[in-house]
């Protein structure tokens, strides 16, 4: 029994390797698949034949150079084999995207968030309606959707589908797997948004052959503050996590956070924290759930014109971020930091405090300041993270189906 289980597991792992290679490199010939995966030629032949049989792969012929000789056979993922919906729950809107099995975007639209009287019940009703419209617009039967991948800022039940705490709904939990009530075969996954950003950046860094990837930290600035860490695992895989950085206690300064605690990093560095300091509002004032970018831009312009409290608000935000990051580096190691999100438009005002906060750490003084890069396109990174993680899960299910069929034969 042990030998049989081990054989099935090896089959599944090898099939997943082939599917991953075709997803990341596009159409490949038999020899290219073997080179990309390290699998033997005979193993690749057996896997591609089985995956063709179940409809996950298709082949097409590429004419030989000069029109002579046998055509080259290329294998590719079959676009209509499975579909994925990714939903990004942002502070001001929810973005819905439909992609096929190759990761090609088919349809996308956004819906504004209701900040007046948000309720999980109303939100889920709107979410269901959006999924229905996404299927209808593409003339796609709902059961053809293999997975729905959701992302949000806040605290997410790891490996599950429950939103435990969020800036808008607070402690009102949402279990997407039961609330959406989708077809039984549709996989539902909920991810912390900054974890997806770190995942995407890790994949990008992994492709840079000039600089071997080891680890990186991504910091998301905006209405909320998020942190993601991507590291190279012991077996070479990408290991990604999202520590609860924004709600890490940072200072005993009485600043009330949206989570209900006092002194969190976000209470100083989130948009509502900056607004509160700039207007000299008492630190224990209940935070605003949403601060428009136009309002933040006004505060930033005043700071650039020399307004003392506006300038101070951004400096204090940078200081909280720098102090928090110095603790992260002390706990882990020195690694590059990538900053993303709406808040990157204010980096000129945040940098002084950020550098000051980092320099207060013994770790930074001994090992030097980390390399900091600005990558503003957070939405693109979230989408890339959705695609890779969700399609990888679908691939493992397909690989498991192939292994079961092989055993049955």
Distance CA 141, CA 155 (A): 32
User: Is this prediction's pTM over 0.85?
Assistant: yes
Structure tokens at 359: 């320099």
- pLDDT of 299 higher than 50: yes
Q: What is the pLDDT of residue 250?
A: 93
Mark whether 95 and 239 lie in a shared domain: no
pLDDT band at residue 2, thresholds of 50, 70 and 90?
Answer: very low
- pLDDT of 213 higher than 80: yes
Those residues whose C-beta lies under 8 Å from the C-beta of residue 263, and which sit 6 or more positions away, are 249, 250, 251, 252, 253, 254, 255, 257
Q: What does DSSP assign to residue 66?
A: G
Which candidate, 385, 236, 18, 138, places its Cα nearest to that of 10? 18
118: containing domain: 81-185
- pLDDT of 403 higher than 60: no
Question: 246, 363 in Cβ contact below 8 A?
Answer: no
Distance CA 13, CA 42 (A): 16
Q: Is residue 192 part of a domain?
A: no
State mean pLDDT over 218-223.
96
pLDDT band at residue 5, thresholds of 50, 70 and 90?
Answer: low
Classify 391 as helix, strand or coil. Answer: helix
Q: Is residue 94 part of a domain?
A: yes
pLDDT tens-place string over residues 151-181: 999 899 876 789 999 887 888 899 999 999 8
Q: How far apart are the first and last CA of the chain?
A: 17
Residue appearing with tokens 């951004």: 314
Mark whether 176 and 324 lie in a shared domain: no
Mark whether 241 and 359 lie in a shared domain: yes
Q: Is residue 15 within a helix (H) or strand (E), and if so which, with residue range?
A: helix 2-25
- pLDDT of 68 higher than 70: no
Q: Inter-axis angle of helices 30-37 and 2-25, to 10 degrees?
A: 110
Distance CA 344, CA 180 (A): 34
Q: Is residue 190 part of a domain?
A: no
Q: Report the percentage of the chain scoring pLDDT > 90.
A: 75
Mark whether 273 and 363 lie in a shared domain: yes
Structure tokens at 392: 């990888």
Those residues whose C-beta lies under 8 Å from the C-beta of residue 112, and which sit 6 or more positions away, are 92, 93
CATH of the domain at 33: 1.10.10.10
CATH of the domain at 293: 3.30.420.40
Q: Is residue 381 part of a domain?
A: no
Average pLDDT, the chain: 91
Question: 264, 283 in Cβ contact below 8 A?
Answer: no
Q: Are strands 337-340 and 372-374 parallel, antiparallel or unpaired?
A: parallel
Q: Is residue 386 part of a domain?
A: no
Provide the Cα torsion 373, 377, 380, 382; round to 10°. Answer: 60
List residues bridging with 100 in a β-sheet: 83
Q: What is the pLDDT of residue 1?
A: 36
């Amino acid at each position: 029994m042990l030998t049989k289980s081990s054989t099935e597991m090896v089959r599944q792992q090898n099939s997943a390797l082939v599917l991953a290679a075709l997803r990341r490199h596009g159409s490949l010939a038999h020899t290219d698949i073997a080179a990309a995966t390290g699998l033997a030629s005979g193993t690749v032949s057996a896997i591609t034949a089985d995956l063709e049989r179940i409809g996950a792969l298709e082949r097409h012929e590429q004419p030989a150079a000069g029109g002579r000789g046998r055509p080259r056979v290329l294998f590719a993922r079959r676009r209509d084999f499975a579909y994925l919906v990714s939903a990004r729950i942002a502070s001001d809107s929810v973005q819905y995207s439909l992609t096929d099995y190759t990761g090609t975007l088919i349809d996308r639209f956004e819906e504004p968030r209701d900040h007046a009287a948000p309720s999980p019940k109303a939100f889920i009703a709107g979410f269901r309606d959006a999924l229905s419209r996404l299927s209808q617009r593409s003339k796609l039967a709902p059961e053809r959707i293999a997975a729905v991948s959701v992302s949000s800022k806040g605290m997410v039940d790891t490996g599950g589908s429950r939103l435990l705490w969020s800036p808008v709904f607070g402690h009102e939990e949402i279990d997407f797997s039961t609330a959406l009530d989708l077809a039984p075969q549709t996989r539902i996954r909920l991810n912390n948004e900054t974890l997806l950003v770190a995942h995407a950046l890790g994949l990008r860094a992994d492709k840079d052959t000039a600089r071997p990837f080891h680890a990186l930290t991504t910091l998301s600035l905006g209405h909320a503050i998020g942190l993601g860490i991507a590291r190279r695992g012991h077996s070479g895989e990408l290991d990604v996590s999202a520590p609860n950085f924004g709600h890490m206690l940072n200072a005993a300064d009485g600043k009330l956070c949206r989570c209900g605690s006092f002194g969190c990093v976000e209470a100083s560095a989130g948009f509502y924290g900056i607004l509160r300091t700039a207007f000299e509002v008492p630190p224990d004032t209940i935070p605003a759930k949403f601060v428009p970018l136009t309002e933040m831009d006004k505060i930033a312009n005043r700071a650039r014109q020399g307004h003392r409290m506006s300038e101070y608000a951004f400096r204090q935000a940078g200081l909280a971020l720098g102090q928090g990051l110095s603790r992260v580096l002390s706990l882990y190691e020195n690694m590059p930091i990538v900053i993303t999100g709406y808040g990157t438009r204010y980096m000129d005002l945040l940098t002084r405090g950020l550098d000051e906060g980092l320099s207060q750490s013994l770790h930074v003084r001994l090992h030097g300041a980390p390399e900091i890069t600005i990558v503003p396109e957070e939405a693109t990174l979230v989408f890339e993270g959705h695609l890779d993680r969700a399609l990888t899960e679908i691939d493992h299910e397909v690989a498991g189906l192939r292994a079961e069929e092989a055993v049955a034969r």
